[in-house]
Amino acid sequence: MIELTITPVPIHEYCKDHSSSPSAELMALIPATQAHAPQVAHMQVGHLEGKLLAILAQLMNAKNALEFGTFTGYSALAVAEALPKGGRVTTLDRDPRATALAQEFWKKSIHGDKIELILGDARETVRRLESEINAGTRPSYDLAFIDADKSGYDTYYEACLKLVRTGGAILVDNVLWSGAVLNPQDETDHTIHNFNEKIASDPRVEKLMLPLRDGITIMVKK
């Protein structure tokens, strides 16, 4: 599978070669995604980004994680593998076809029971999650990962500020958009650039943008 990456491919591959290998289930999910959805397989979170999410979850001693955009389930499983027994990844999506493949592979993993998939419009789902957190029936999240429709990034980010605990992490994918943010042309280019500008000046979070894969911003909620 050709991964979407802003860095030169040889550098990207060198980094992969010098990082811990993914689990057998994650490795198998890569060709399965290619076969299942060849035109959009590049959307799958790859080796390095999946490992970043997992290591960050471990460093934080995270127990509860939230994800916007499941696709075929790589990132949800990568994080679930890093969570302790009793931990949970809540992942939100609206595509039953892609998530059917995700569930197939989660069932093959001993960590699959840590994953909660909620299908539907995430804009509506987050309101329910917030109500449950406020009612004490659901814990706040330690970590959130946004990797869904770009038009919804600002909405999902604002939701994360309500759903993630103080000191928790919020990560946003595709913030470099293949470099198009440097000279925005179409609507999506401008949407991501404007989102990045908002984050850069937002005092509610500490932030770091990295040129990993297609760009990822890591934030800590104050």
Question: What string of DSSP letters covers 77-92?
Answer: HHHHHHSPTT-EEEEE
Q: What is the mean pLDDT of the chain?
A: 95
Could you tell me if 214 and 4 are in contact, meaning their C-beta atoms sit under 8 angstroms apart? yes
Judged against a pLDDT cut of 90, whether residue 151 lies above it is answered with yes
- Ranges 41-50, 59-68, 203-212: which has the least confidence: 41-50
- Across 51-77, average pLDDT: 97
Instruction: Check residue 191 and give its pLDDT.
Output: 97
Could you tell me if 45 and 173 are in contact, meaning their C-beta atoms sit under 8 angstroms apart? yes
Judged against a pLDDT cut of 80, whether residue 182 lies above it is answered with yes
For 7-32, what is each residue's pLDDT tens digit?
898 999 999 999 999 999 999 999 99
Instruction: Check residue 6 and give its pLDDT.
Output: 86
For 127-150, what is each residue's pLDDT tens digit?
999 999 999 999 999 999 999 999
Eight-state DSSP code of residue 32: H
Query: Which residues face 88 on adjacent strands?
Result: 64
Report the half-sphere exposure of 104 (CA within 13 A, side-chain side): 13
Model confidence at 1, pLDDT cuts 50, 70, 90, reads: low
Whose tokens are 């027994």? That residue is 85
Model confidence at 5, pLDDT cuts 50, 70, 90, reads: confident
